[in-house]
Amino acid sequence: MKALKICFWLFYTFHYTLVLVKASDSLLSPKGVNYEVAALMSMKKDMKDELKVMAGWDINSVDPCTWNMVGCSVEGFVISLEMTTMGLAGTLSPSIGNLTHLRTMLLQNNHLTGSIPAEIGKLSQLHTLDLSGNELEGKIPSSLGSLFHLSYLRLSRNKLVGPIPKPVASLSGLSFLDLSFNNLSGPTPNILAQAYSITGNNFLCSPSSAQICMGNSKPINDTSSPAKVTGHHRWVLSVAIGISCTFVISVMLIVCWVHWYRSRLFSTSYVQQDYEFDISQLKRFAFRDLQIATSNFSRKNILGQGGFGVVYRGCLPNGTMVAVKRLKDPNYTGEMQFQTEVEMIGLALHRNLLRLYGFCMTSNERLLVYPYMVNGSVADRLRETCREKPSLDWNRRLHIGLGTARGLLYLHEQCNPKIIHRDVKAANILLDESFEAVVGDFGLAKLLDRRDSHVTTAVRGTVGHIAPEYLSTGQSSEKTDVFGFGILLLELITGQKALDAGNGQVQKGMILEWVKTLHQEKKLEVIVDKDLKGCFDPDDLEISVELALQCTQSNPNLRPKMSEILKILEGLVEPLAPAEESQGGTNLGEARACSSFSRNYSEVHEESSFNIEAMELSGPR
């Protein structure tokens, strides 16, 4: 039997080695040169690298996976090139089409010139392509329309000319297409991307004016006739050109006026719009306007603060209440990268996610503007300082957990790219007018970490809510959020803070250990919030506690997915009665009498997030 096991192990080792050898052989030319190395070296040859960021790229290397800015799969194929803001100039080599396993290519904010090589259309696995902020010329290659896996395409702020290729416009899988601020011309085709921007292309026209576009594309001087232009003809031509210029200028002035009028109209009505809005409708606020709205960021208007920044109550000129988040460390990224990431966050639209109204950028400020939630956060309601308000009943608490699970499920499985929250806690779950759970700060963890890798340079979160693997290694995943959700469930059940299980002794993970002990002793009724006064189902309590304990297991692989959590909660939550659905189990007249603006926000201050200084990670990347 032992000999049989040894033989099996030797066979498995040989087979695995053979697979790796075949994979490496598939990358080698008859001369033994790695095709991907050759493609990357061609890129290096055609680019001017003044900062020497490609100095480590070596033609004699068999494995490019250790090179700077290059990412590889487990099999050793190049799957990502992240060369953002590296001071690169020169042109893009057509050899890039040989990187057939490439999924992500980020070359924005460099100084690249020349045309976009049509060979990029060979990259059938490409998901993300960003060439914005360069000086690329020529037409957009129609071959990009064959990239059916592409979900993010940005070619803005270049010098591209010609029409928008119909194959590119017909890519229905695109989440975001940005062709703004080029010199594109001709009729605008029907674009199937979920969100797109083509502003700043003055020669583009609508499909209805296709004939005018075609007319304008004809050359003014007809060189086919050898006859000389007479003085009369010159006069007629000058008058025609003058009239044409006057007409064009008039049309441009009208378009600018319409754009200004729509922007002004939007500034007074954007709060009432539905959740289905285009990315171009994100409002860019002036810093002065937000200063006025928050009374110069007065301490009296602070709603809460944490590791990401301070949140202020604000009132816009039209009377709309907003929450303004003033981010800490505003110099973490460039303006265009900040705007790109804000736009990506703005694409995440769900009834259980906090909607982003707009943003503000200055040389030293980064601010985000959200709707104001009149019922505060779950932390406010569980530890209400205005005690004449009725507490949340049992079914409402389960309903809050259900709404939170739906929002997190959307971030994990329906967003592209997916977003990991990394700070799921009661203070970040807000309650709208109907007491529906709304997940807040869901994009900030991604926004404040420049790398897309699951390994982050700083641990962000709140003590007592951080998963052990994230705290010890800095590695986060969807299961990191699952851990935080489990702690949130325990907060909803017990009404206690994660660090204080009712006795005032602050101790890391105390609520979790406290519940584990009472669960083993089968004394679950002891942990239930006293405000519920026995108004709960013992069976539902046991299922909820067991679910919370599954979510907070130390091994992340043993924790359930958000989709599995959602199914369990859907079986527990009863439909809300109409009165309860609109009032959340409380009298709104009483709620207004005890204004949320007059609350003591010390609870939020006590749960403020923290940052662990950047950890040095092993490896060249």
Which is the catalytic residue, given 130, 380, 423, 449?
423
Spatial separation of the C-alpha atoms in residues 596 and 586, rounded to whole Å:
14
Dump the DSSP string for 207-237.
GGGHHHHHHHTS-SS-TT--PPPPHHHHHHH
Cα gap 141→162, rounded to integer Å: 10
- For tokens 């690298």, what's the residue? 49
Say if strands 78-82 and 70-72 run parallel, antiparallel, or are unpaired. Answer: antiparallel
Classify residue 441 by its DSSP letter.
Answer: S
The CA distance from 358 to 290, in Å, is 11
**Element housing 325 (H / E):** strand 321-327
Contact residues for 361 (Cβ-Cβ < 8 A; gap 6+): 284, 335, 338, 339, 367
Beta bridge partners of 310: 305, 326
- Asked whether the bond before 417 is cis by omega within 30 degrees of 0, the reply is yes
Running DSSP on this structure, what letter comes out for residue 508?
Answer: T
Classify residue 455 by its DSSP letter.
Answer: B
Known binding residue 325? Answer is: yes
Cα(499)–Cα(490) distance, integer angstroms: 11
Which helix or strand (DSSP H or E) is residue 367 part of? Answer: strand 366-371
- Round to whole Å and give the CA distance between 403 and 416: 21
- Tell me the two tokens of residue 493: 């059940």
Q: Which two tokens stand for residue 435?
A: 């007491």
CB neighbours (10 Å) of residue 320?
18
Q: Which two tokens stand for residue 268?
A: 């007074």
CA distances from 9 to 4, 13, 18, 236, 252 (A): 9, 6, 14, 90, 74
In this structure, what is the dihedral angle of CA atoms 451, 455, 456, 460, given to the nearest 10 degrees?
A: 140
Give the relative orientation of helices 478-494 and 538-551 as an angle to the nearest 10 degrees.
150
Q: Which tokens in the block code for residue 548?
A: 């919370």
In angstroms, the Cα distances linking 542 to 114, 317, 500, 511 are 65, 50, 21, 16
423 is an active site residue: yes
- Paired residues of 178 in beta bridges: 154, 197
Given a contact cutoff of 8 angstroms between Cβ atoms, the answer to whether 164 and 179 are in contact is yes
User: In sequence order, what are the beta bridge partners of 343?
Assistant: none
Residue whose entry in the numeric block shows the structure tokens 């007065």: 298
Alpha-carbon dihedral 198, 203, 206, 210, rounded to 10 degrees: -140
Q: How far apart are CA 76 and CA 63, in angstroms?
A: 8
Length reported for the chain: 621
Residues 6 or more apart from 256 whose CB is under 8 A from it?
none
CA distance between the termini of the chain:
45
**Tokens 């971030």 appear where?**
411
**Residues tagged in the binding site annotation for ATP:** 325
Tell me the catalytic residues: 423
**Residues tagged in the binding site annotation:** 325
